[in-house]
Amino acid sequence: MRQLTGKQHAAVRLVDIYRVFFEIGLLSFGGGLMSWIHREVVERRGWMTREEFLSGVALSQILPGVNSTNVSVFVGQRLRGAVGAAVALTGVLTGPFAGVVFAATIYQWLLGAPGFTSAVAGVAAAAIGMLLRFGIEAGRLAALRGPVAVLVMGVTFVAVGLLRWPMLPVVAVMAPLSVAACWPRGEGRDSPHA
């Protein structure tokens, strides 16, 4: 898939941004939004590179709020500025808002419907699979950046995922260490002297 350059981002229509994020918000259940956004924005449409997207994911995780809405704002802003951010956010929230209002009105009936809890468990399992796929993709990209990136990812996973340490202090320590370890040094293509 061809990736868009800066001027080509302006060619992405606002209606397309809204439609993509509306579908994602309406049809995804159980936390699989990040993987779906990645697939739609990077793999299917080529609106962003994998690296651009993962930078947005990293930023969204250290900002307050829901990661998927933060990423939606990031993608919309990168594609069409402040208006694109507002359109992407509106798109990703419109469907779930209507769905929650509708579900709240028929909540008692849904609980009594045969197979409802099994269906919800199946949807949750699919969402976990999507998140696992996205995590593997991010891990492969980190491996390409070298052992320091893999080490930072591993330490963060162990600290937050296994030891259950609070995320904010872990990120406050690991983010500066990660940036310092990956900062370009000496003569190289990233060096200002190159």
User: Whole-angstrom Cα distance, residue 93 to residue 88?
Assistant: 9
**pLDDT value of residue 191:** 44
**pLDDT value of residue 1:** 47
Q: What interhelical angle do 50-62 and 116-144 show, nearest 10? A: 110
User: Whole-angstrom Cα distance, residue 92 to residue 143?
Assistant: 31
Domain spans of the chain, in order of start? 6-119
What backbone torsions phi and psi does residue 101 show, to the nearest 5 degrees? -60, -45
Q: Is the pTM of this model over 0.85?
A: no
**pLDDT value of residue 10:** 59
Q: What does the pLDDT look like over 145-193, one tens digit per residue?
A: 788 888 888 898 899 989 999 988 998 898 888 888 777 765 545 444 4
Q: Count CB-CB contacts under 10 A for residue 25.
A: 26
Q: 156 CB contacts (<8 Å, ≥6 apart)? A: 170, 171, 174
* CB contact at 8 A, 88 and 70: no
User: Whole-angstrom Cα distance, residue 60 to residue 69?
Assistant: 8
* Structure letter (DSSP) for residue 115: T
Q: What does the pLDDT look like over 58-104, one tens digit per residue?
A: 888 888 888 889 999 999 999 999 999 999 999 999 988 988 888 88
* Structure letter (DSSP) for residue 4: P
Q: What does the pLDDT look like over 109-155, one tens digit per residue?
A: 887 888 888 888 888 888 888 888 888 888 887 788 788 888 888 89
